[in-house]
Chain A
């Protein structure tokens, strides 16, 4: 059980946006990692997936997603590193809203495969479809995690988006 949270980095995207955000040289001195994302991207409307690359790799991911949008729900599997959704630029209520995502990666330094869980919500400040994702992921690689990259492929992450990385110790 986590007992201490240490903020390792807190990034706020500046004017002009960014194609991606990378945390590199992650210290190997913690037990787990926690990432919090507050993101918008420049898709003209709606929302799109946020992806994570581990150690610059987009391979060897096995993902299960539970998704709910409005009154409907679904589930699907994927082989890309989906961690949630990012709100797109929209004129219908979302101009000052950001999606919120929290990703938990236990035992990130171990020599076993790495699992992660994620929950993500796109809050548009309107009553229509505010998607929610619950994600269970596995990265089938035995390397310790030293870097994490977040992007919404094809789109830019917009100004004022935030990414925080925490190291968590169990003692």
Chain B
């Protein structure tokens, strides 16, 4: 398997360098990818949960039934 590379430009000199990632950088890259994926999945789940609460609150408002505190928060906070 080919070692991934990085491109680094020194803006003070204009010099562009292509370097293979070190083992440490490869490990960090894999950890970053896993952490970012986990973070994004959690954020998307939270957004979906909030949208579901809003939808539930809207349905209850239309039906004239009481909202839970969480549902009310989803509408006003």
The finding on whether chains A and B are genuine partners in a shared complex, rather than unrelated, reads yes
Q: With an 8 A cutoff between CB atoms, is B32 at the interface?
A: yes
Given contacts A9-B9, A11-B16, A74-B47, contact A18 B4 (CB under 8 A): yes
Query: Told that A74-B47, A76-B44, A79-B43 touch, could you supply 13 new A-B pairs with CB distance under 8 A?
Result: A17-B5, A19-B29, A22-B8, A23-B9, A27-B12, A49-B40, A76-B43, A76-B47, A78-B39, A151-B32, A154-B29, A154-B30, A154-B37
Interchain CB contact (< 8 A) of A58 among B11, B16, B32, B47 = B32
In the complex, number of A-B residue pairs with CB atoms less than 8 Å apart = 80
Interfacial chain A residues near B10, Cβ < 8 Å: 24-25
How many residues of B are counted as interface, with CB atoms below 8 angstroms from the partner's CB atoms? 27
CA distance A22 to B4 in the complex (A): 14
Indicate with 1 or 0, residue by residue over B10-21, a CB within 8 angstroms of chain A CB atoms: 111110101001
Q: Which residues of chain A have a CB within 8 Å of any CB of chain B?
A: 8-9, 11, 13-14, 16-27, 49, 51, 58, 74, 76-80, 151, 153-154, 156, 165
